Amino acid sequence: MVWKNFDLLASYEALKGLDTVDVKTAMAGENGAKRVAEYKIPMSNGMVYSYAAKQVDDKVLDTLQALADEAALTEKYAELYNGAVINTGEGRLVLHQLCRGQLGNDVIKDGENKREFYVSQQNRIAEFANKVHNGEILNEKGEKYTTVVQIGIGGSDLGPRALYLALENWARANNTLKMEARFISNVDPDDASAVLATVDISRSIFIVVSKSGTTLETLTNESFVKNAIKAAGCEVSKHMAAVTSATSPLAGNPEYLDSFYMDDYIGGRFSSSSAVGGAVLSMAFGPEVFARIMNGAAAEDEKAKNPNVRENAALLDALIGVYERNFLGYQMTAVLPYSQALSRFPAHLQQLDMESNGKSVNRFGEPVNYQTGPIIYGEPGTNGQHSFYQLLHQGTQVVPMQFIGFKNNQMDNDLDIQGTTSQQKLSANVAAQIVAFALGKDDENPNKYFAGGRPSSIIVADKLIPETLGALLAHFENKIMFQGFVWNINSFDQEGVQLGKLLAKKVLAKDTDGALTAYSELLSIF
């Protein structure tokens, strides 16, 4: 496989030479309707990706196809899922997709079939969760557990938390909320205190999640929680479990109810599909629901194999993002889900994208001469419409947008008010916003004038259920992977985050280097 910097590809030059598409013109009148009908891709699980309101036309799409072919993007994906060392910086395989299904050849590593390893851990978790749910595992007083609390930070927190919140109300409405889940992440001691103040410790299981078993925040919060368990008159060994690597100091700790394992081939931000997400979500919703999330993701992983950019939503989404970043000059993307249940999904994507592709060197450690990963942020609509959309509509800079919408809401509870249901209002709003961003609005009053031409795409699903949630997760993971391939960077290490961990340790050991005199002075403000 040839890995070349983006700006050395013929398609880079071809993209540079293209005329810029004006979304305002493209989306107007009958032509706009025609674009919407044509510029969409069926995804897995009945979902649709619509890119009609993006700055592309057939010429741009053909050139993006040429880029996909020249950079061998789907071939690189195949290398990845067949077990190549794609994470060159750390010399590791990249196997988060393998957690969800077998996409290609068997991957044998460390003397074991990795798919079998992941399945075996999922099975161990399922058995444990079922025993907790059916009362085979009880607390010291012989009572059932009601709450599961995840103690983790970064990827051990944001992804599992976003997925939990996405399905919490759906699970409640469908009688599959087995245990409420809570999350402790921040080293800020008020975070742990606040969570502990609102759970019944005697009926809670705390899952300590750290791949290395050495994450400062997590170990600190573990001690904090252990103290609280003892103060509540309970036994630590009846209230803690671990998710960690088999070689970490946390593994097989006799103080824990049980330990579940992950390996080095799944980065934190991709670990929702591993035991990191599996344990807390299986305990909260039941293992069947977690399996449904994984099935939804696996179906989308399959779709991502297609080399045709007009049929592969993750691939085209990735390529349009690259085009926007490197040729249209946009520095960021706003992720705008029209579903309150996805309130923390943008925060998860922020980590996923910015931690993966916020790099300045290529996979060989050489500086690149082009922009890489964008800034990602977002909030659910319609809330954002009443807030920062002002700048998106009328600010001096263009921010590309990625909408997510649903045909139906999660709970059957909806009301017809003034002739439409709330869900109809929600769908009408997102469609109207896409059109308004594209077409703008003329007005004699310059204050009420909207230039339009602001590009967006949307993913539409029937309903936010485990399968579609899994597919959304996989879509964005695969989009980011393809972008990393185009930029020729390693999307799977995170030295910027490692620096933070290193600094914290140095600082706490009072080893702050002679050079960092500013640091002591800064601390004196505190």
CB of 271 to a copy of itself, least distance (A): 12
| 132 neighbors 283 (Cβ within 8 angstroms) | yes
Other Cβ atoms closer than 10 A to 313: 29
Q: How far is CA 101 from CA 43, 161, 291, 514, in A?
A: 17, 23, 11, 51
Please report, as residue ranges, which positions from 507 to 526 form the binding site for a copy of itself (by CB under 8 A): 507-508, 512, 515-523, 525-526
386 tagged catalytic: yes
Positions 63 through 102 that interact with a copy of itself (CB under 8 A):
89
Site string for a copy of itself, 433-452 (x = CB under 8 A): xxxx-xx-x---xxxxxxx-
96 is catalytic: no
Q: Which residue type does 349 have? A: L
Beta strands in 29-188, from DSSP E residues, in sequence order? 40-42, 48-50, 108-109, 112-113, 147-151, 180-184
Whose Cβ is closer to a copy of itself: residue 2's or residue 197's? 197
Nearer Cβ to a copy of itself (8/432): 432
Assess whether the previous peptide bond of 382 is cis (omega < 30° from 0): yes
Ranges of H-type helices in 402-465: 422-439
Nearer to a copy of itself, 37 or 108 (CB): 37
CA distance 332 to 344: 18
Which has the closest alpha carbon to 40: 61, 20, 21?
61
In angstroms, the CA 526 to CA 503 distance is 18
Partner residues linked to 149 by β-bridges? 182, 206
- Count residues contacting a copy of itself (CB under 8 A)? 155
Which residues, numbered 142-181, are part of the site for a copy of itself (CB under 8 A)? 153-155, 157-158, 168-169, 172-173
Residue whose CB is less far from a copy of itself, 1 or 515: 515
Residue 328 or 435: the one with the smaller Cβ distance to a copy of itself is 435
Residue 268 contacts a copy of itself per CB under 8 A: yes
Pairing of the two strands 456-461 and 48-50: antiparallel
Active site residue 475: no
Q: Which of residues 324-343 bind a copy of itself (CB under 8 A)?
A: 331-332, 338-341
CA distances from 334 to 399, 459, 473 (A): 7, 14, 16
Greatest alpha-carbon pair distance for the chain in Å reads 74
- Residue owning tokens 């040429």: 66
Angle at 498 between CA 495 and CA 502, to 5 degrees: 135
CB of 186 to a copy of itself, least distance (A): 4
Supply the minimum distance, in Å, between the C-beta of residue 2 and a copy of itself. 21
Give Cα 519 to chain centroid, integer Å: 34
Q: How far is the CB of 425 from a copy of itself (least distance, A)?
A: 5
55: Cβ contacts below 8 Å, ≥ 6 apart: 20, 21, 22, 23, 323, 324, 328, 455
Site for a copy of itself in 477-506 (CB under 8 A): 490, 493-500, 503-504, 506
Shortest separation between residue 362's beta carbon and a copy of itself, angstroms:
9
Q: Which is nearer to a copy of itself, 59 or 407 (CB)?
A: 407
Structure tokens at 172: 């409640």
Instruction: For the CB of residue 11, give the shortest distance to a copy of itself in the complex, in Å.
Output: 20
Residue nearer to a copy of itself on the CB measure, 84 or 435 = 435
| Pairing outcome for strands 48-50 and 108-109 | unpaired
What letter represents residue 421's amino acid?
T
**Distance between CA atoms of residues 55 and 437, nearest Å:** 12
Instruction: Name the residue nearer to a copy of itself (CB basis): 135 or 395.
Output: 395
Catalytic member of 24, 226, 305, 501: 501
Which residues, numbered 102-131, are part of the site for a copy of itself (CB under 8 A)? none
Q: Which residues within the stretch 19-58 sit at the binding site for a copy of itself (CB under 8 A)? A: 27-30, 32-33, 35-37, 40, 48, 50, 52-53
CA-angle at 340, arms to 336 and 346, nearest 5° = 40
Q: How far is CA 275 from the centre of its chain?
A: 16
Q: What's the closest the beta carbon of residue 114 comes to a copy of itself, in angstroms?
A: 25
Give, as ranges, the residues between 381 and 420 that touch a copy of itself (CB under 8 A).
381-383, 385-397, 399, 405, 407, 409-411, 413-415, 417-420
Query: Is 411 in a helix, a strand, or coil?
Result: coil
CB of 137 to a copy of itself, least distance (A): 27
Q: Which of 355, 379, 467, 477 is catalytic?
A: 355
Cβ of residue 108: shortest distance to a copy of itself, in angstroms?
28
Of 209-238, binders to a copy of itself (CB under 8 A) are 215-217, 219-220, 223-224, 227
Nearer to a copy of itself, 286 or 384 (CB): 384
DSSP 421: E
Of the candidate spans 91-99, 199-207, 235-243, 428-436, the one that interacts with a copy of itself by CB under 8 A turns out to be 428-436
Give, as ranges, the residues between 183 and 202 that touch a copy of itself (CB under 8 A). Answer: 185-194, 197
What the block records as the tokens of 444 is 């004699």
Distance CA 453, CA 411 (A): 36
> Which entry of 30, 386, 444, 510 is annotated as an active-site residue?
386
Residues designated as active site: 355, 386, 501
